[in-house]
Amino acid sequence: MKTYLATMFAGAALVAFTGMAVAHHSFAMFDQEHPQEVTGVVKEYKYTSPHSFIILEIKDKDGTAEAWNLEGGSPSALARDGWTSKSLKPGDEVQLTMEPLRSGAPGGAWNVNKIKFKDGKPIAAKTQ
């Protein structure tokens, strides 16, 4: 068990240290220098390979809602952080820091270390 936990910790540490940089493709299309903190309503949570997605409805400052396609880690990486296919469901309100597409279109990237429910509760205990 000790070895098992050590391996899990090492894996989690690697993911936490390197974040999305360890992905199989570059995340440079997302503007990592200008992250945005947003709150929105989950329309769909796709626990899919090779990357997960959250379809998040976000209201702009004028109150107009728009659905954003936000790419996250792989299911295996999410699982190491305690996430499952049931971690989010439609209607959940979350706050997260996303890195938007450089083009300004409603797409971006999210990270397990920078997301929680709107009321501040953690989504998965391991990542808080």
Binding stretches for other proteins (CB under 8 A): 3-4, 7, 10-11, 14, 18, 21-26, 28-29, 43-44, 46, 48-51, 53, 55, 67-69, 71, 74-76, 79, 101-107
The CB-side HSE value for 104 (13 A sphere, CA atoms) comes to 0
Give whichever of 55 and 128 is closer to other proteins, judged by the CB atom: 55
In the complex, minimum distance from the CB of residue 121 to other proteins, in angstroms, rounded to a whole number: 25
Give whichever of 47 and 115 is closer to other proteins, judged by the CB atom: 47
In the complex, minimum distance from the CB of residue 104 to other proteins, in angstroms, rounded to a whole number: 7
Contacts of 61 (CB under 8 A, 6+ apart): none
Give whichever of 30 and 127 is closer to other proteins, judged by the CB atom: 30
In the complex, minimum distance from the CB of residue 22 to other proteins, in angstroms, rounded to a whole number: 5
In the complex, minimum distance from the CB of residue 97 to other proteins, in angstroms, rounded to a whole number: 19
Beta bridge partners of 125: none
Give whichever of 25 and 89 is closer to other proteins, judged by the CB atom: 25
